Amino acid sequence: MSAPTTALRTGRDPYHIGHAPAAGVPEYTGHGAGGPAPKRIVVGYGFWIFILSDVILFSCFFATYTVLIHARNGGPGPQEIFDLHGTALETACLLLSSFACGLTSLAVARRNLLWSEIFLAVTGLLGAAFIGLEVHEFYGLVARGDGPTRSAFLTSFFALVGCHGAHVTAGLLWLGTMMAQFPAKGFKASIRHRYLCFSLFWHALDIIWIGIFTVVYLIGKITP
Amino acid sequence: MTLLGRLTWQAIPFHEPLPLFSGLGVLITVVAILAWVVAKGYVPYLWREWITSVDHKRIGVMYCILASVMLLRGFIDAIMMRTQQVMAYDAPGFLPPSHFDQVFSAHGTIMIFFVAMPFVIGLMNLVVPLQLGVRDVAFPTLNSVSFWLTAAGALLVNLSLVIGEFDRMGWLPYPPLSELRYSPGVGVDYYCWSLQISGVGTLMTGINFVTTILKLRAPGMHYTRMPMFCWTALASNLLIVAAFPVLTATLAMLLLDRYVGFHFFTDTAGGNSMMFMNLIWAWGHPEVYILALPAFGIYSEVVSTFSCKPLFGYRSMIYATMAICIISFMVWLHHFFTMGAGADVNSIFGIASMIIAVPTGVKIFNWLFTMYGGYVRFRTPMLWSIGFIVTFAIGGLTGVLLAVPPADFQLHNSLFLVAHFHNVIIGAVIFGAFAGYTYWFPKAFGFVLDERLGKWAFWLWLIGFWVAWGPGYVLGLEGMTRRLQHYDVAEWHPWLVVAEGGVVIILLGIIAQIAQIVVSVRTREQRRDVTGDPWDGRNLEWATASPPPAFNFAVLPDVTDQEPYWDMKARAREIGQLTRPEPRYEPIHMPRNSPTGFVTAFLAVVTGFALIWHIWWLVLLGLAGAYATFVVFAWRDHDEELIPAEEVARIDRANRAARSAALQHRQLRRETQRESAE
Ligand code: HEM
Ligand SMILES: [Cu+2]
């Protein structure tokens, strides 16, 4: 069994814990038995697991929302407080931001610094616009006296949507760091891996927003 | 708003001598140890080799040390509770209710989160990469962050001893009692923030290990060649990834209620406290298996090694592990059968709870059949394993009793329940941690622990456990509810005295364990493990030197069998020499040490403390510091260190020489045995 060993000692991976599968060794097909995976796969995979755990976190807030939706305490229900126009605008911002994030990926793949930065900036601006709209919505509700302390329903609404908003805000901080890193560090492997994680994060937040848009806003509009 | 939020001199319990003096005692000990470390000039060594280390073996050892220290703290709490209950028959005892309540809450919290969790995670850290035949976990620096966050949580819990108070409503803060209205003090906040901080650490451990086990294995290690401990570690970490976010979310909701007046679980404005029960137990029951499954893995390793046989029913063991992994999410309601779910819902969850006993039973039989017909060596790790099988079988059966809803209506919140969960958690998790500790200690430190004192510790713990918790079942059936600060039922008193005797026996067991360490360290030169394989082991961790070099393996091993090291040894014996010729050594890149974990934990303690005491400017400072740490970490350029080829060669040649010698030695012994047999 020395053939695979030599094939595996190519030293492409700095940790020597991430090698590509040995080619032409029939025994090593499938089941991840071809030796440690390359660094890019490991990083992406790990981050993907993190996203799954984050989805579970959100699912708890979704669950509480559906449990508490009728606990109004004499306050307003979803039909009275939701404005689908604003929400549609928010959704558009976030989806376009995700699209720009996809374009950034292409630019990064081509090692094009200028376009990477431009598309990242667009991603960030659209994300910031989304946050702005959300803050506007929250502010309006609180100003009317329909803040999270008004009723259990509003509590769960603010918590679910706010949790998403907090994630987007954290993502914006990360995005800023990435924008500083591309010019400072270039497109070296570790930076590209980090960008891969960022884009996974950003797209995942989009998917969660689709859930919120549907469960909270659309279904809310038809919930008495 | 004052500068220090709600922190005043009143937070220090000057008028309560007990917490004050115990707190001062701990403080003086810690300061004394720190002073000794500084005076001896150990600080640079500790900083370089341990605190900033990202080596999975070092991190594993630090987890186990944390767990052992916290075990002492939790055990002192247990002694206090038991003594109180002996004294408090028709009398006030020595602990006032408010203090007694903090003691049982702190005991439960510490034992689960800062003893059992770090112990199993520590052993996973130490062993899993070695067994997988790789050089480290997937994310070494993250691993260090995880450890230090766990330590930060532990520190915050212990801080509550001297500054303020701890939570008083048990190890799970049920609302509405835990809401601001009924618990305005800092106790619940201490609880929530320390668990949020350590919970993040645990979640990252889960992510790290799932990735490691699924993506980083030595070439040739199929899923069905993974050692059983790696399988159970995988299952446990999958459960962490799936369950810990639920804990985080639930505690976050409680904190929102408490800090900004939300209404998730309040009894006003439509809040729903039953939601808390469901959420917390959706995490809580899987948590039981997060702890138990790795322990089952340890027993599988130990039983097969010391029976000199491959594990019986390897594949059925995998199925059983994964079945438990899934079913553990479907039984949570058995923790509150009495809270009004109705007969049909209760029946479904009762049946599901009984079903989960089936794969567990499969495991018990597999261990028994592994021993059957084997050449069983009764070394200390094996004794813990046999003690476990007997104790856990009984604890499991009382669990099945509790899973019958009508029976649970009688036994809910009685000492019967408390006896049941101590029976399984001490019998499985703690015994498993001790089995793993004695089994892998030589791997971590290069010498074997004293057997005689180890056996003393085992028997004292086993007998002590039964004397301490056997009476619990009787008391439960006699109607004693849990968490009683005083009582007036004469029949209970003798049983509580017996239970106190059991605690004393356990105390002797713990003393034996401390003596075992002291004696073994003193005589370590005679106990050196020069072969790296003191127990005639079967998996790859024994293929490395004891202790292993930083890079574990000079060249990644090729796995061709389900028991890779046993297979190598067998083939080496056949051909009379090591299976692999000396490889061409190459330099190895290893991740560099990093203070990120330590700094993060420091900031976490500061931020957590500030949040507990409402010192808002400090919160902002802490968060800004966290972001700065993130940026500095992201900005680093040199994250690897090169170990030159000559160094690798030197280290590995020594290991190969030791192994050749061991091989020759065994060969010789075998031949003499054969001759004398003829
Ligand atoms: C070392 C021997 C131990 C002794 C003598 C002991 C003793 C006790 C006692 C007397 C109680 C309070 C019973 C009551 O409510 O009246 C208790 C509660 C508890 N113990 Fe232990 N214990 C031990 C080890 C452990 C371990 C290892 C764990 C977990 C890893 C653990 C977890 C708990 C929990 C979760 C509670 C419930 C706390 C609550 O009521 O909220 N204990 N223990
Ligand atoms: Cu359970």
Residues A192 and A127 both lie in one domain: yes
Contact B631 A42 (CB under 8 A): no
Report whether pLDDT(A4) > 70. Answer: no
- Tell me the mean pLDDT in the region B198-205: 97
- Tell me the mean pLDDT in the region B630-645: 87
Report whether pLDDT(A164) > 50. Answer: yes
Report whether pLDDT(B233) > 60. Answer: yes
Which residue range is the domain that position A31 belongs to?
Answer: 1-36
| Residue A105 distance to chain B (closest CA, Å) | 19
Q: Which residues of B touch A158 (CB under 8 A)?
A: 262
| Residue B618 distance to chain A (closest CA, Å) | 20
The model's confidence at residue A10, banded by pLDDT at 50, 70 and 90, is very low
**C-alpha span between B285 and B22 (Å, rounded):** 33
| Residue B188 distance to chain A (closest CA, Å) | 20
- Tell me the mean pLDDT in the region B17-46: 87
Residues A27 and A132 both lie in one domain: no
Q: Which has more confidence, A190 or B254?
A: B254
CB B535 within 8 A of CB B629: no
Contact A155 B271 (CB under 8 A): yes
Q: What is the pLDDT of residues B517-534, one digit of tens each?
A: 999 999 999 999 998 999
Report whether pLDDT(B661) > 90. Answer: no
Q: How far is the CA of B406 from the centre of ligand 1 (A)?
A: 25
Report whether pLDDT(B171) > 90. Answer: yes
Contact B203 A53 (CB under 8 A): yes
Q: Is the peptide bond before B564 cis (omega within 30 degrees of 0)?
A: no
- Structure tokens given for B15: 């008028």
Report whether pLDDT(B315) > 50. Answer: yes
Instruction: State pTM to two decimals.
Output: 0.94
- Measured from the Cα of B79, ligand 1's closest atom is 5
Q: How far is the CA of B452 from the centre of ligand 1 (A)?
A: 29
pLDDT at B183: 94
Report whether pLDDT(A11) > 50. Answer: no
Residues A128 and A202 both lie in one domain: yes
CB B166 within 8 A of CB B107: no
Chain B residue with CA closest to A3: the answer is: B558
Q: How far is the CA of B336 from the centre of ligand 2 (A)?
A: 10
- Tell me the mean pLDDT in the region B605-634: 94
**C-alpha span between A148 and B4 (Å, rounded):** 28
Supply the residue whose CA is at minimum distance from atom 35 of ligand 1: B108
- Tell me the mean pLDDT in the region A81-93: 94
- Tell me the mean pLDDT in the region B243-272: 97
Query: Which amino acid does the sequence have at B487?
Result: Y
Mean pLDDT of chain A: 88
Q: Which residues of A touch B253 (CB under 8 A)?
A: 64, 159
Residues A61 and A162 both lie in one domain: yes
Query: Would you please indicate which residues of B are annotated as catalytic (active-site) residues?
Result: 63, 73, 77, 81, 104, 125, 136, 143, 146, 150, 202, 205, 212, 285, 287, 289, 300, 316, 360, 363, 420-422
| Residue A133 distance to chain B (closest CA, Å) | 22
Q: How far is the CA of A69 from the centre of ligand 2 (A)?
A: 28
Residues A14 and A64 both lie in one domain: no
The model's confidence at residue B323, banded by pLDDT at 50, 70 and 90, is very high
Report whether pLDDT(A22) > 80. Answer: no
The model's confidence at residue A168, banded by pLDDT at 50, 70 and 90, is very high
**C-alpha span between B546 and B551 (Å, rounded):** 13
The CATH code of the domain that includes A70 is 1.20.120.80
pLDDT at B434: 98
Q: Which residues of A touch B218 (CB under 8 A)?
A: 35-36
What total of structural domains would you count in chain A? 2
Residues A2 and A73 both lie in one domain: no
**C-alpha span between A128 and A125 (Å, rounded):** 5
pLDDT at B674: 66
pLDDT at A5: 39
- Structure tokens given for B24: 């001062």
Q: What is the pLDDT of residues B355-404, one digit of tens each?
A: 999 999 999 999 999 999 999 999 999 999 999 999 999 999 999 999 99
- Tell me the mean pLDDT in the region B404-410: 94
Which of B591, B590, B592, B585 lies closest to B647 in space, CA to CA?
B585
CB B493 within 8 A of CB B418: no
pLDDT at A117: 97
**C-alpha span between B429 and B206 (Å, rounded):** 18
Residues A64 and A26 both lie in one domain: no
Kind and range of the H or E run holding B588 = strand B588-591
| Count of beta carbons in the 10 Å neighbourhood of residue A48 | 15
Q: Is the peptide bond before A183 cis (omega within 30 degrees of 0)?
A: no
Residue that is written with structure tokens 């919140």 in the block: B413
Adjacent-strand bridge partners of B640? B591
Q: Which residues of A touch B219 (CB under 8 A)?
A: 4-5, 8, 19, 22, 28, 33-35
The rounded percent of chain B whose pLDDT value lies above 90 is 84
Give the ranges where B380-491 is alpha helix by DSSP (H).
Answer: 380-402, 405-411, 415-424, 431-445, 451-477
Report whether pLDDT(A18) > 70. Answer: no
Q: What is the pLDDT of residues B111-146, one digit of tens each?
A: 999 999 999 999 999 999 999 999 999 999 999 999
Residues A82 and A141 both lie in one domain: yes
Contact B214 A194 (CB under 8 A): no
Residues A121 and A214 both lie in one domain: yes
Cβ < 6 Å from ligand 1: which residues? B 75, 78, 81-82, 104-105, 107-108, 111-112, 115-116, 170-171, 418, 422, 425-426, 430, 468, 482-484, 503, 506
Helix, strand, coil shares, percent, chain B, to 5: 70, 0, 25
Q: Which residues of B touch A173 (CB under 8 A)?
A: 627
pLDDT at A60: 98
Residue that is written with structure tokens 């005043």 in the block: B8
Contact A73 B279 (CB under 8 A): no
Residues A55 and A76 both lie in one domain: yes
Query: Which amino acid does the sequence have at B209?
Result: F
Report whether pLDDT(A6) > 50. Answer: no
- Structure tokens given for B318: 């995998």
**C-alpha span between B557 and B313 (Å, rounded):** 25
Q: Ligand 1 pocket: which of B335, B418, B460, B485 to mutate (most atoms <8 Å of CB)?
A: B418
pLDDT at A95: 96
The model's confidence at residue B675, banded by pLDDT at 50, 70 and 90, is low
pLDDT at B5: 83
Q: How far is the CA of B165 from the centre of ligand 1 (A)?
A: 19
Mean pLDDT of chain B: 94
Report whether pLDDT(B305) > 80. Answer: yes
The model's confidence at residue B211, banded by pLDDT at 50, 70 and 90, is very high
Q: What is the pLDDT of residues B438-477, one digit of tens each?
A: 999 999 999 999 999 999 999 999 999 999 999 999 999 9
Residues A3 and A113 both lie in one domain: no
- Measured from the Cα of B503, ligand 1's closest atom is 5
CB A51 within 8 A of CB A205: no
- Tell me the mean pLDDT in the region A46-61: 97
Name, in order, each residue with C-beta under 8 angstroms of B580's C-beta and a sequence gap of 6 or more: A2, B555
Residues A156 and A184 both lie in one domain: yes
Kindly report which listed range (A10-19, B13-22, B277-286, B647-656) carries the lowest average pLDDT score: A10-19
